[in-house]
């Protein structure tokens, strides 16, 4: 028998949800529910300065308003530092971690190798520091913690975008798993939490597809079975710009004063290709006919009803 599907939505509460976040929450929910599975909610508030509790509570309220119910307790990453430290220790014992003292300016200097997608390849500056050199540098600067990556291609088949591969050494470089201020990096926390939550299906925006090889590598290092990854196209406004939390004109705070949940869900379902017309519909009514085959890889456009 197939193991039960466990999906999840893992927002970072650095602001009110925008329609792109709602689309992600909706598709992850539809997929899980259509397969008779569970839907977990996790608050990714590692950066507590940027993610106040009030925003997280607002997300719970917004999901409730949208009719997207979740199963079980809601973990907050800001409360899970000891768990992440346990997994950091496993990597340390494998001798895969080292302190990195590079400043942000040094990492992004013009001489740093830039990749085609705008990311910077870590040049390995601190990779081979001796213990004595590192101790000396610690006197003036707190280091971030980097994970050594292999010169190896990590491949997976995305549920929407198909085959995807990346050579971690050549296309990413050793990456940070803990910042210099002690805050754990998204890449480590997301892997630990998805695995400990039993998540079998990760649905999220295509802007995160390039993180996936790093996450698969971490799953392997910890001996976890990676979940299935499904990246969804991003929602663009009428000028073709991708929505972001900075475009606060379209967040749910405003939308909830002007639309019903059924209007929001109906318009997004139509934009995503799940329905032919942008008529109001409750999320649960979309469950029986939901299929990933209806979702394309093209960026999606904001439905006209949201033109304000
Ligand atoms: N917390 C991330 C965000 O809100 C999503 C992470 C994920 O789904 O893996 O963009």
**What are the pLDDT digits (tens) for 165-201?**
999 999 999 999 999 999 999 999 999 999 999 999 9
pTM of the model: 0.95
Residue nearest to atom 6 of ligand 1 (CA): 10
At 103, give phi and psi (nearest 5°).
-80, 160
Give the model's pLDDT for residue 120: 85
Give the model's pLDDT for residue 246: 64
CB 129 within 8 A of CB 122: no
C-alpha 139: how far from chain center: 35
Ordered structural domains, the chain, with CATH = 6-79+191-306 (3.40.50.620), 81-189 (3.90.800.10)
Give the model's pLDDT for residue 286: 98
232, containing H or E segment: strand 228-232
Residue of 190, 203, 210, 199 whose CA lies nearest to 231:
203
What does the angle CA 211 – CA 214 – CA 218 come to, to the nearest 5 degrees? 135
Distance from residue 42's CA to the centre of ligand 1 (Å): 10
Give the model's pLDDT for residue 308: 67
Quick one: CA torsion of 20, 26, 27, 29, rounded to 10 degrees? 140
Pocket test for ligand 1, best of 17, 41, 159, 208 (most atoms within 8 A of CB): 208
Q: Cα separation of 13 and 231, whole Å?
A: 20
> Is the minimum distance from the CB of 302 to ligand 1 under 6 angstroms?
no
User: Pairing mode, if any, of strands 175-178 and 300-301?
Assistant: unpaired
| Nearest atom (ligand 1) to Cα of 190 | 9
Pocket test for ligand 1, best of 42, 190, 212, 227 (most atoms within 8 A of CB): 190
User: Pairing mode, if any, of strands 201-205 and 153-158?
Assistant: unpaired
Q: Cα separation of 134 and 305, whole Å?
A: 57
**Residue 29 DSSP SS3:** helix
> Is the minimum distance from the CB of 11 to ligand 1 under 6 angstroms?
yes
Give the residue ranges of DSSP H helices in the chain: 19-34, 53-66, 81-93, 104-107, 131-138, 168-171, 186-196, 212-222, 252-258, 261-271
Q: Cα separation of 160 and 206, whole Å?
A: 9
Positions in the chain short of pLDDT 70: 1-2, 110, 245-249, 308
Burial of 196 (0-12, 13-18, 19+ CB in 10 A): middle
């Amino acid at each position: 028998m197939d193991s039960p599907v466990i999906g999840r939505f893992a927002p970072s509460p650095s602001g009110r949800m925008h329609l792109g976040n709602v689309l992600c929450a909706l598709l992850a929910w539809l997929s899980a529910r259509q397969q008779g599975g569970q839907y977990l909610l996790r608050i990714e508030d590692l950066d507590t300065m940027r993610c106040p509790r009030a925003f997280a509570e607002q997300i719970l309220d917004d999901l409730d308003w949208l009719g997207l119910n979740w199963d079980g307790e809601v973990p907050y990453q800001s409360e899970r530092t000891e768990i992440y430290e346990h997994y950091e220790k496993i990597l340390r014992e494998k001798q895969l971690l080292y302190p990195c003292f590079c400043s942000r300016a040094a990492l992004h200097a013009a001489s740093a190798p830039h990749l085609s997608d705008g990311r910077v390849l870590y040049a390995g500056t601190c990779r081979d520091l001796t213990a004595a050199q590192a101790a000396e540098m610690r006197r003036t600067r707190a280091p971030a913690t980097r994970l050594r990556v292999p010169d190896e291609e990590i491949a997976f088949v995305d549920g929407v975008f198909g085959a995807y591969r990346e050579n971690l050494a050549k296309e990413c470089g050793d990456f940070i798993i803990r910042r210099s201020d002690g805050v754990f990096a998204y890449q480590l926390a997301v892997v630990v939490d998805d695995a400990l939550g039993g998540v079998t299906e990760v649905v999220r925006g295509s802007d995160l597809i390039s993180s996936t090889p790093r996450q698969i590598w971490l799953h392997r290092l910890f001996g976890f079975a990676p979940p299935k990854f499904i990246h969804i196209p991003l929602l663009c406004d009428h000028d073709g710009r991708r929505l972001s939390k900075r475009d606060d004109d379209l967040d749910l705070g405003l939308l909830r004063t002007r639309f019903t949940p059924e209007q929001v869900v109906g318009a997004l379902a139509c934009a995503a290709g799940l329905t032919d017309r942008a008529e109001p519909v409750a999320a649960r009514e979309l469950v029986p006919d939901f299929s990933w085959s209806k979702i394309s890889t093209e960026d999606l456009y904001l439905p006209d009803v949201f033109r304000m």
